[in-house]
Amino acid sequence: MHSGFLQGGTDGMAALRLPMRRLREILRLKFECGLSHRAIARACGVGAGTVSDYLRRVREAGLGWPLPEELDDAAVEARLFAAPASGGPRPFPDPAWMHQELKRRGVTLQLLWLEYLKVHPDGYRYSQFCEHYRRFARRLAPSMRQVHRAGEKVFVDFSGLRPEIVDRRSGEITPVELFVGSFGASSYTYAEAVADQSLTCWVSAHVHMLGAFGGSPELFVPDNLKAGVTKACRYEPVINRSYEDMARHYGAAVLPARAYHPKDKPKVEANVLVVQRWILARLRDRTFFSLAELNAAIVELARELNDRPMKHLGASRRQLFERLDRPALKPLPATRFEMGVWKECGVNIDYHIAVDHNYYSVPYQLVHQRVEARATATTVEIFFKGRRVASHARRFGRGQAATCTDHMPRSHRAHAEWTPSRIIAWAEKTGPATARMVTAILNSRPHPEQGYRACLGLLRLGSKHGAGRLEAACARAHRLRAFSYRTVKNILAAGLDRVPVDETPSSPLPAHDNIRGAAYYQGD
């Protein structure tokens, strides 16, 4: 039989048997994090009444947090759910569980009552059973009035109505987005026009908003738009990582509203409507040619909106903000948040990853692994299993590579250490003729690196034949204007480096009738 019939009390709020790990999480969030019962309920996926009931049972059992180490889960559960003494009040059925069961096909109150009597034969009769449920059901219809603590929540959203900017040259009209943020306690409102609903615009608007507020709240409550929530879920929504980084930078957290539940964020829903009426409507006949012009007008009208007294409270939003929210805000950090976009990448065989058509190196041991890259306006950081393994200055354009020599295998590192200036400096240690030969080889190639192999070949010839012979061979090759490794190698192999250049034997011309000789060209 379902536990909804097994537990109960005189207050009509039945306690469900949650896993003990869930109880420990409830206690941690209450006593370590200081969250409200409703915030704990949202975080743990249970009802607020269940949270209250568990905390009451912990208090009545004389337990605290942390739980005593000598008590295991079974012992804690036994103390929390001790059997009531005989003759006590009859257990109430769990109305919340009944409400869910009645949504199932074929389930009626009479069926639930019969199942209830099987567990509790001396339980309530059918009329009282039904009345107990109906009292619960009547409380579901009215909207719950939310109580907002000072400085706790800022509700954020985009307006459904969009302002427009006009291209000064072509006259083309471009709709833009209106970002709105409001405090729960004071309704103090911030508005800003941004280009679109992209992640960059979403996060930048938050940064500008916090700068205008002069502090940070405990929670941001967005809708389930893609820029804020990667995967919407009632119990475990997945927050966009860059958005979460921004919130963490300012000491806040993100608590998305439930999808299709606008009553979870009534403040921003109401203030979006107010902004549309008192800002956008007043700008309807004005033409703006840039976001800067539009935002300058929005700032002035937002100031008037926040200074206007609210009839039902007798005070303006700004007065309430200064009295309630501002003293409770967390101070802004010393540095402004730098927007970074996360991307999962695969490490190519050349130990580089691709980010926006440019390439960044990682340690070669990570070839074929999956890493995460965080790209800001100035840097690209690369993480493997949560640990940063590389950081590069960001490249712009296409096809550029940022390579750190420490990331290369030893063989690649040795090759990369050779530069034209280093090779010429090495050649000068052998002699001026060798330096001229190396310079000539490098200059004769379309790209200096194409001559590295020939120059390194000369280095090996010097190791084999000695620096003196190499210097002489380079001098002879330079005189012949034959700037190649092969020429120097042939000179050394033939021993011509030992023969002075002027004494090089010349082969006599063969005797033949068709060969005139030098005398033919002498004058008479």
3-state secondary structure at position 503: helix
Question: Cα–Cα distances in Å, from 450 out to 420, 436, 441, 453, 456?
Answer: 11, 17, 9, 7, 11
CA distance 173 to 452: 58
> Is 362:391 a contact under the CB 8 Å cutoff?
no
What is the full DSSP assignment across 4-41?
GGT---TTS-PPP---HHHHHHHHHHHHTS---HHHHH
DSSP class of 277: I
What is the largest distance, in Å, between two alpha-carbon atoms of the chain? 152
Strand duo 401-402 + 358-361: pairing: parallel
Rounded to whole angstroms, what are the CA distances from 179 to 134, 195, 211, 283? Answer: 42, 10, 15, 16
Closest to 204 measured CA to CA, from 218, 213, 194? 194
Segment 279-308, tens digit of pLDDT? 888 898 899 999 999 999 999 999 999 998
Phi, psi torsion values for 143, nearest 5 degrees:
-70, 140
- Written as six digits, the tokens of 119 are 């567990």
Pull the structure tokens for residue 266: 């009534």
Secondary structure class of 181 (helix, strand, coil): strand
Cα–Cα distance, 57 to 23 (Å, whole number): 11
Domain ranges of the chain: 3-138, 153-328, 341-414, 418-503
- CA–CA dist 220, 489 (Å, integer): 74
The C-alpha torsion from 242 through 247 and 251 to 253, rounded to 10°, is -120
Residue 193 has φ and ψ, to the nearest 5°, of: -90, 135
CA distances from 168 to 173, 174, 296 (A): 10, 11, 18
Of all helices (H) and strands (E), which one includes residue 388? strand 387-393
The number of helices, as runs of H, and strands, as runs of E, in the chain is: 19, 18
What gap in Å lies between CA 365 and CA 369, rounded to an integer?
A: 9
- 238: tokens are 């997945």
Tens digit of pLDDT at every position of the chain (524 positions): 444 554 444 333 334 566 777 788 888 888 877 788 888 887 777 778 788 888 888 887 777 788 777 777 777 777 777 654 444 556 777 776 776 667 555 678 888 888 888 888 888 888 888 888 887 777 654 444 455 677 888 888 888 888 999 998 888 999 999 999 998 878 899 999 999 988 889 999 999 999 999 999 988 888 777 666 665 555 455 677 888 888 889 988 888 876 545 555 555 577 788 888 888 888 988 999 999 999 999 999 999 999 988 776 677 889 889 988 888 899 999 988 888 888 889 998 888 999 988 899 999 899 889 999 988 888 899 999 878 999 999 888 888 888 888 888 876 666 666 677 878 888 888 899 999 999 888 888 766 666 777 887 888 888 888 889 999 999 999 888 888 889 999 999 988 888 876 654 555 556 666 666 666 666 55
Distance CA 40, CA 27 (A): 9
Exposed, middle or buried: residue 96 (CB in 10 Å: 0-12, 13-18, 19+)? middle
User: H-helix or E-strand containing 429?
Assistant: helix 420-430
Q: Are strands 309-310 and 315-316 parallel, antiparallel or unpaired?
A: antiparallel
CA–CA distance, 188 with 315 (Å, rounded to integer) = 11
How many C-beta atoms lie closer than 10 Å to residue 57's C-beta? 17
Assign domain 153-328 to its CATH superfamily: Ribonuclease H-like superfamily/Ribonuclease H (3.30.420.10)
3-state secondary structure of 457: helix
SS3 state at 219 = strand
User: In terms of pTM, does the model score above 0.85?
Assistant: no
- Amino acid 391 reads S
User: What letter does residue 330 receive in the DSSP assignment?
Assistant: B
First to last CA, the chain: 136
Residue type at position 334: A
Q: What are phi and psi of 233, to 5 degrees?
A: -155, 140
Question: What is the phi/psi pair of residue 174, to 5°?
Answer: -120, 120
Task: Give the model confidence (pLDDT) of 152-207 as tens digits.
Answer: 888 888 888 889 999 988 889 999 999 999 988 788 999 999 999 888 899 999 99
